[in-house]
Chain A
Amino acid sequence: GQNIDQPTEMTATEGAIVQINCTYQTSGFNGLFWYQQHAGEAPTFLSYNVLDGLEEKGRFSSFLSRSKGYSYLLLKELQMKDSASYLCALMDSNYQLIWGAGTKLIIKP
Chain B
Amino acid sequence: GAVVSQHPSWVICKSGTSVKIECRSLDFQATTMFWYRQFPKQSLMLMATSNEGSKATYEQGVEKDKFLINHASLTLSTLTVTSAHPEDSSFYICSARLAGGKETQYFGPGTRLLVL
Which partner residue on chain A sits nearest B32 by CB separation? Answer: A95
Cα A35 to Cα B106 in complex, Å, equals: 10
Of the candidate stretches A19-27, A73-81, A97-105, the one touching chain B is A97-105
Q: Can you name the residue of chain B whose Cβ is closest to the Cβ of A50?
A: B103
User: 3 shortest A-B CB distances, which residue pairs?
Assistant: A42-B107, A42-B110, A101-B43
Given A30-B102, A96-B49, the answer on whether A43 and B107 have CB atoms closer than 8 Å is yes
Find chain A residues with CB under 8 A from B109 CB: 41-42
Q: Which residues of B contact A101 (CB under 8 A)?
A: 42-43
Shortest CB-to-CB span from B56 to chain A, Å, is 13
Q: How large is the interface on A (under 10, 10 to 19, 20 to 34, 35 or more residues)?
A: 20 to 34
| Majority secondary structure, A binding face | loop
On whether the beta carbons of A33 and B107 are closer than 8 Å, the reply is no
Whether B44 contacts A87 by the Cβ 8 Å rule is yes
A binding-site residues for B, Cβ under 8 Å: 30-31, 33, 35, 40-45, 48, 87, 91, 95-97, 99-102
Q: Which residues of B contact A100 (CB under 8 A)?
A: 43
Contact B103 A48 (CB under 8 A): yes
Write out, one digit per residue, whether chain B residues 86-106 have a CB within 8 A of any chain A CB (1) or not (0). 000001010000000011111
Residues of B within 8 A of A96 (CB): 46, 49
- Determine the chain A residues whose CB is within 8 A of the CB of B103 once the complex forms: 31, 48, 91
Q: Across the interface, do B110 and A99 meet the contact criterion of CB distance under 8 Å?
A: no
Asked whether, in the complex, the Cβ of A41 is within 8 Å of the Cβ of B44, the reply is: no
Known: A41-B109, A42-B109. A33 touches B104 (CB 8 A): yes
- Please give me the residue from chain A that is nearest to B106 by CB atom: A45
Set of chain A residues within 8 Å of B108, measured between Cβ atoms: 42
CB-based contact A44/B107 at 8 Å: yes
